[in-house]
Amino acid sequence: MNSVYLIYFWRFLLLALLQVLVLMNMPLGQINIYIYPLAILFLPLEIPVMLLMLIGFCYGLCIDLCYNSAGLHASALVTLALVKNWLAFKLSPRADFDIGKTINKNLYGIVWFLKFALIMLAIHIVWVITLEEFGFGLAWLLRVILSFVLSAILWIIYQFIFNPK
């Protein structure tokens, strides 16, 4: 059990570092690539939603510290945490999950995972960019679409690297 939590911790750290050391400094202008929400996505499904929201809030604040955007990513991750379990159950073919199972492409297959992950990504990106832009417009639409496409590619690549089976 301990080693499992250690894996989650390292994943949080790795994704956060990847986000703020590499992706944050990509010369893409207003387009953002987000990898760190994957850490929330990959947490086990038996974690209660309230705890998940608190974890998401703290994790988001850490990201915000580097982005100089206090509250922005925290808010988005709290939303993701709220939606995550509900969406997973909604999409899953069964009514319950096995204890200790985490969401990845091998759980119900790649199609199921993509459906789940891309909906989560879309929620995250729309949330963050709407808060940043504080309105809708052509710039908002372009940012959402481009950020979504680039992030989605990265998420899929990440899946195939760390869950190769």
Partner 1 sequence: MQQLIAFFTKFGAGFLFVFLQIIAGVLYLNFNGSTEKMAFLSSANGVLANLQELVNKTTNYWNLGTVNDSLAKENARLKMQFPNAKYQSKMDTIFVQDSAFKQQYVFTAAKIVNNNLHHTNNYITLNRGSQHNIRPNSGVVSATSNGIVGIVKKVSNNYSVAMSIFHKETRISAKIKRNDYFGVLQWNGIGMTHLDLESLPKHASIQKGDSIVTSGYSNIFPEDIFVGTVDTFFSNKSSSFFTVKVRLAADVSNMQQVYIVTDLMQTEKKNLEEAAKYE
By CB under 8 A, name the binding residues for partner 1.
20-22, 24-27, 49-50, 53-54, 57, 60-61, 64-66, 68-72, 74-75, 78-79, 82, 131
- Measure Cα distances from 85 to 55, 72, 88, 106, 162 in Å: 14, 22, 5, 17, 22
Query: Whose Cβ is closer to partner 1: residue 78's or residue 121's?
Result: 78
- Measure Cα distances from 107 to 45, 54, 89, 100 in Å: 12, 26, 13, 12
Query: Whose Cβ is closer to partner 1: residue 12's or residue 113's?
Result: 12
Query: Whose Cβ is closer to partner 1: residue 7's or residue 50's?
Result: 50
Burial label for 104, CB within 10 Å (0-12, 13-18, 19+), is middle
Least distance CB 76 / partner 1 (angstroms): 9
Least distance CB 164 / partner 1 (angstroms): 27
- Measured CA to CA, the distance from residue 119 to residue 127 in angstroms comes to 12
Residues 82-95 as b or e (16 or more Cβ within 10 Å = b): bbbbebbeeebeee
Query: Whose Cβ is closer to partner 1: residue 63's or residue 113's?
Result: 63
Least distance CB 125 / partner 1 (angstroms): 17
Least distance CB 132 / partner 1 (angstroms): 9
